[in-house]
């Protein structure tokens, strides 16, 4: 360059990809069951564009009953772990999630559960 940068021009371009998760299936409906009987199902979490290892956290809903009591009838387990890992081919490994519901009181619920990474995405 010989102290004369006006003869050279460098142009850089790129694409920013934000980490995201998709779900298979995209929504769940658990079957009605008698009181104090567990119902459960499994689904896949498909992480995309995570460039470093992260761990999934789940925000489960608290339900308020007619008498004002609050319960947490949902539970979640990750049988193979909840770490988002980048494989050797550059893809993120799918995670298996088991979700279950059990309540000793009558309740129905329609709502969201939030799956977030360590950076609260």
What domain count does the chain have?
1
Render pLDDT for 91-102 as a digit per residue (tens, 0 to 9): 888 999 999 999
**41 inside domain:** yes
CB-based contact 20:54 (threshold 8 Å): no
**12 inside domain:** no
Tell me the C-alpha distance between 94 and 43, whole Å: 10
Domain span holding position 97: 20-116
Which residue(s) pair with 63 in the sheet?
A: 71
**87 inside domain:** yes
**26 inside domain:** yes
CB-based contact 101:74 (threshold 8 Å): yes
**CATH, residue 54:** 2.60.40
The whole-model pTM stands at: 0.76
Mean pLDDT of 11-25: 87
Render pLDDT for 20-29 as a digit per residue (tens, 0 to 9): 899 999 988 8
* Cα angle value 53/114/98 (rounded, 5°): 80
* Cα angle value 53/58/63 (rounded, 5°): 175
């Amino acid at each position: 360059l010989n102290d004369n940068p006006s003869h050279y021009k460098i142009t850089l371009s790129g694409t920013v990809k934000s980490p995201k998760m998709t779900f298979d299936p995209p929504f769940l409906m658990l079957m009605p069951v008698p009181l104090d009987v567990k119902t459960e199902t499994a689904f896949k979490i498909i992480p995309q564009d995570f460039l470093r290892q992260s761990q999934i956290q789940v925000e489960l809903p608290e339900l308020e009953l007619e008498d004002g009591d609050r319960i947490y009838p949902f539970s979640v387990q990750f049988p193979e772990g909840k770490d988002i890992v980048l494989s050797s081919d550059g893809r993120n490994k799918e995670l298996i999630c088991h979700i279950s519901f059990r309540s000793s009181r009558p309740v129905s619920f329609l709502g969201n559960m939030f799956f977030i990474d360590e950076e609260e995405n």
